[in-house]
Structure 1
């Protein structure tokens, strides 16, 4: 007996820590992306909309308050999935070819997705459920981009109750289950619920496996058409008769109280295209109240579905070793769908399958409080997103970070958590070096530097942020310069006061634009 003990002690001595300490299990990773949800549309970022599950993630985790997306659906998704600027991944605009590699409209061969690298390099199970929208070519579809299980919508949007066409150009709405096209009928589940159900079902199917998982849940909510479950709409009907002017002020004050924004940042003025609420007739107020009630119901239902995913993780005993990251792909949308001749118009009961509508400029202006402008723009209203990071026992509960970050940072962050290095080549494809920087130090509460300079270009709208300075211009407009430490609401343009700063930032922006393949939008938009 004594001899056996001696042999065991000798073995422990020579085999070292690997023998005495079980290897640390790689964490599960869940990324949840909202679609067209503004900076202030969740409770913990100032909203009156009830979002208890997202708020819980923030309360038990980290809020990053100066985080950015790429300003629109396709570019943001490409940036998130690949860790590259959208142009570097081939998705500088949308999913149609625009005459150059940076605008080819689908993920290129020099990019790899988070799923591809975690699956092949770290043995992860990989799941995606929801809006894909990074290309229609076979090579760019989810099942060819590293996902073991996938339920995806390839288009920019869909009815929330079926897959009937939205546009009158003959194009169809395409859903895919792995590598098979499927159809959603009039009796289908509400889309937000269908996306959630696939995610939950997929977790159940891998519950016995010892492998970690990566899951990307890409909701279509609250992208137009604004459609919601009647019982959810009823929760909010009448709450928006206060009007956008009062509600913008209330959200702003909540943001100040919560430390989401600094007291130096003023509330931007109401968009000039939105009327004063008090100038509207009672009938107009009721119509606008209904629109925002539907939108709020969509955010509410998305939050409830996120709660279902969290409950499933707990039921499976996976919650203690799972990271959840939540963000939005762009700011609130100013689209006025009722005026679009390309859209099949439906004028049935608001919020139902028989109605096609959007919440338009005035309410999008509320969504993006305290900022100005919208989705597609590179002013803060278009590119600012909440980022919430939750990882029990690893990320300090109730913490916040105001360092700039971007969706391009999620790829290197996931690789860090999985203990994987970004390769030079992947499956005989030479990869473009990462543009993003890991957020791991920020999540640990340690000094975080990140990307000192960030860049944007979308359909001629362009910007560079370097430290406190941001240079930004909409297509056809001159550069504007803002000191974001003093004025993140972009109210006081300092371009005339600091022409040398404008020139220096413009030079840096143009060098980046050349590097990633940005083309003058005026020369490509007609292709």
Structure 2
């Protein structure tokens, strides 16, 4: 029996749709471009508008409405986390015989020890637990935004002595060491590595040598951001080289994904898509994604089937590893491996719920009786059609800045949703969401509102507690970590 393939999952943070070379970016990404060209580009691929929602669905295979994480993100001072009631992707791959490791950003709650990555199926963990931190000092601030505390740990606890070690380089080096040690063991166990880079989330910090490559970009934020993308691309190159040197590449599948749209205020860009990080418009949720690797037989393909971040658990566990999905709560993800690797195989996904957030501030007036309340923030995709209700957040189209003539980009603000709370788009025909069809096709609006109402009937209550004063690292050894025994 052939050995199961190694799986490397690379997740980039706040990486914009317009910020990868093969989407026509001004930023050069030769490693990512080459991997994508040699594999399968996912050009109808969706994530969530913000960090921890995407990570929760990747790890659990379940929608936010089914884990109680449907509102905003998990804040580091909350007694909230991804529930323990269903196994993670690492749990299921471990059952299948994989050696499982995680590096980088967790952001799925950590108020008790059992929520830490090494207790969620990973044999080893090295990274940080909160939403972001300093790339050099590895610290994150407390509620007062005045006091900063270490947020870097491994299985044993806090990791000291890394001050000044740039995180993209540090995490890449740790990945290289894991690959090297795995190869030295000559183990029959395949490797699963979840590589959750901090790059390219703010703060905008990058070694000068990388920023210099983009001196033609006059906008300071965009130039620094471009340098950070350069370090990310180099990191992926070094990981692939490590796999090749270890003799593992030919039996490896590598998946690359973003976690949400780029943050325009921190240098990212999603043009020509509408909106940015946090938005239910395409700029917030349309992901950059591809599958590549020496073990992938399908090459040079652009896949336009509907695929979502929640699909990775069943796709990798069942489709790639040949494992079982027994023991999970009902999954919202689908095994898309036949779609990714087959020719003209349609997506297994009948529809995609982008989210329903009943805690988000209501917007506008309720437009229809006896169906979904249009004041409540929600979005759903069925076939070519996408419906948004409530307050979708930013709806601008922003061109990337390139020279002094457009120092902050060409911002085209949409003024159509001051009080508006329903949008209908044909995303296939209009991926940039310029043409709202809600008045033209009220019957489609009604049908999709009814669908949202029915799906919300399966939701669990949102878990979004107030900040817990006991979470203050000053009370817990001066480091971020579990505080409830």
TM class by shorter-chain length?
Answer: 0.7 to 0.9
Alignment of structure 1 residues 465-476 onto 2, 5 Å = 465-475=381-391
Please state how far the C-alpha of 1:164 moved relative to its aligned partner: 3.4
Structure-1 separation of matches of 2:179 and 2:65: 33
**1:211 counterpart residue number:** 189
- 1:181 maps to which of 155, 158, 162: 158
CA contact (8 A) 1:473 1:480 kept: yes
2:276 is aligned, of 338, 354, 374, to 374
Q: Counterpart in 2 of 1:464?
A: 380
Contact kept? 1:453, 1:466, Cα under 8 Å: yes
C-alpha change, 1:483 and 1:305, in structure 2 (3 Å) is same
Question: 2:171 maps to which residue?
Answer: 195
Deviations 1:447-489 (A, max 9, x none): 1222121012256342100001000135275110001121111
Shift of residue 61, structure 1, vs aligned partner: 0.3
Paired residue secondary structure (2:41): strand
Rounded Cα–Cα distance in structure 1 between residues aligned with 2:388 and 2:80: 24
* Greater CA drift, 28-37 or 207-216: 207-216
Aligned to 1:253: none
Contact 1:162–1:184 under 8 Å retained in 2? no
**Counterparts of 1:262-411 in structure 2 under 5 Å?**
289-335=219-265, 358-359=266-267, 364=268, 367-392=269-294, 394-411=296-313
Is the deviation greater in 509-518 or in 29-38?
A: 509-518
Residue number in structure 2 paired with 1:441: 338
**Deviation of residue 94 (structure 1)?**
1.9
Give the corresponding residue for 1:46: 24
Correspondence 1:508 to 2:451: yes
Give the one of 349, 354, 362 matched to 1:451: 349
Per-residue Cα deviation, 1:399-423 (whole angstroms, up to 9, x for no partner)? 1111111100100111121111111
**Counterparts in 2 of 1:63 and 1:525: CA distance versus 1, 3 Å:** farther
Deviations 1:133-155 (A, max 9, x none): 01113222111011111102101
Change (3 A) 1:70 1:199: same
Once the two structures are superposed, residues 240-291 of structure 1 have per-residue CA deviations (whole angstroms, 9 ceiling, x without a partner) of: 24xxxxxxxxxxxxxxxxxxxxxxxxxxxxxxxxxxxxxxxxxxxxxxx221
**1:372 and 1:165 mapped to 2: Cα distance?**
31
Q: Does residue 481 in structure 1 map to residue 424 in structure 2?
A: yes
Cross-structure match for 1:260: none
- Indicate the residue corresponding to 2:36 in structure 1: 58
Distance 1:456 1:67 in 2: 12
> Is 1:124–2:98 an aligned residue pair?
yes
Shift of 1:111: 2.4
Q: Is 2:172 the partner of 1:172?
A: no
Gaps of 5+ in 2: 361-376, 392-418, 469-485
Does residue 421 in structure 1 map to residue 324 in structure 2?
Answer: yes
Contact 1:31 1:326 in 2 (8 A): yes
Does the 8 Å CA contact 1:378/1:473 hold for their aligned counterparts?
no
Report the Cα offset of residue 444 of structure 1: 1.6
Q: Which sections of structure 1, spanning at least 5 residues, go unmatched?
A: 1-22, 242-288, 336-357, 426-430
2:253, 2:295 within 8 Å by CA — same for their partners in 1? Answer: no
Does the residue aligned with 2:226 lie in a helix, a strand or coil? helix
Instruction: Report deviation, 1:201.
Output: 0.7
Moved more, 48-57 or 175-184: 175-184
Structure 1 or 2: larger helix share? 1
Displacement after TM superposition at 1:227 (Å)? 0.6
Instruction: Tell me the CA shift for residue 184 of structure 1.
Output: 5.3
**Which region of structure 1 is more displaced relative to structure 2, 123-132 or 204-213?**
204-213
> Which residue, 109, 134, 138 being the options, matches 1:163?
138
1 CA distance for matches of 2:161 and 2:61?
32
Q: Distance in 1 between matches of 2:263 and 2:460?
A: 27
> 2-side partners of 1:472 and 1:41: how far apart?
26
How many Å apart are 1:28 and its aligned residue?
Answer: 0.6
TM-score scaled by length of structure 2: 0.81
- Asked which structure has the greater CA Rg, the reply is 1
Aligned to 1:14: none
Distance 1:518 1:508 in 2: 19
Identify the range of structure 1 (139-148 vs 387-396) with the bigger mean alpha-carbon deviation.
387-396
Q: Report the Cα offset of residue 520 of structure 1.
A: 12
* Structure 1 residues 370-397: Cα deviation after superposition (integer angstroms, max 9, x where no partner): 1111111111010001111013353322
Secondary structure at the aligned position of 2:118 is classed as helix
Partner of 2:433: 490
Say how many residue pairs are matched: 415
SS in 2 for 1:206: helix
Structure 1 residue 172: Cα displacement: 3.0
Per the TM alignment, residue 90 of structure 1 is displaced from its structure 2 partner at its CA by 3.7
Q: Match for 1:112 among 84, 87, 96? A: 87
Do 2:132 and 2:140's aligned partners in 1 also have CA atoms closer than 8 Å? no
Larger displacement relative to structure 2 (103-112 or 62-71) = 103-112
Aligned 8 A contact 1:91 1:104 in 2: no
Q: CA RMSD in A?
A: 2.3
Aligned counterpart, 2:368: none
